[in-house]
Structure 1
Amino acid sequence: VHTDGPELFFILDESVIRRTVGSRETMKRQYEKLLAVNEMPNVKVLTVPFSAGIYRQFRNTYVLFQFPDDEDELVAYLENANGEVIFSEKALGRTSQHRPTDYLDDFWEVEREVAKEVTREFLFGQE
């Protein structure tokens, strides 16, 4: 297994996983791929189940980029109804009142308090 790539950590809302796109077979292949990717040593995929209700940053899609060098800034990429924006701690986005570290704090809070592991039972248990 190749582990030289970046570490990737995803938290997906259950609605993203449950929305049917294509046929039943297509969904099955997507679930199998999600499970395979989640087994990679440098990838972690969690989900926030419907039962968790509303959680921090529920309505916001964002990606955070952390770099191994402490000199490099945390970078945030946000998507919303007004478009998209990329910003760092020094160059704050014009559409966001938050710093990238605020989004990182919210991410870790969701991971600790409401996110669950993506398992075969979770994906296929509701067929």
Structure 2
Amino acid sequence: MMHGEHGEHDQQGRPRDGRTEEHTEEHTAGPGDAAGAPGEAAAPGDAAGLSERDRAVLAVERRGWPGPGAKERAIREQLGISPTRYYQLLNALLDDPRALAHDPVTVNRLRRVRAARRERR
């Protein structure tokens, strides 16, 4: 039996069930992933190789928050990780050129905040 004989992919390598490649990838960001929240504007730039979780972390940072409690609650509920882990991931993203290409406004703003905090130390 040859590969694709049962209709998994067409001659161009696309899934025969009509899904696009991006819909066949495994979901990694977890429940309530912020990147696709209803009413939220589309993420700026191209995803440029960032994981869904990385894009979701940047999406959380794009939002305005009434206070720290609301943001920490959203981090736990939307991303399923602790705020400590979230800030570790965010800090690494600020040094990732793919994150800068994906969302330069947010990444540059956060880099300025981080630099100002380091100067105060």
TM over 0.5: no
TM tier, shorter chain?
A: under 0.3
Query: TM-score when scaled to structure 1?
Result: 0.26
Instruction: Give 1 or 2: higher helix fraction.
Output: 2
Q: Greater Rg, structure 1 or structure 2?
A: 2
Normalised to the residue count of structure 2, the TM-score between the two structures is 0.27
More strand by share: 1
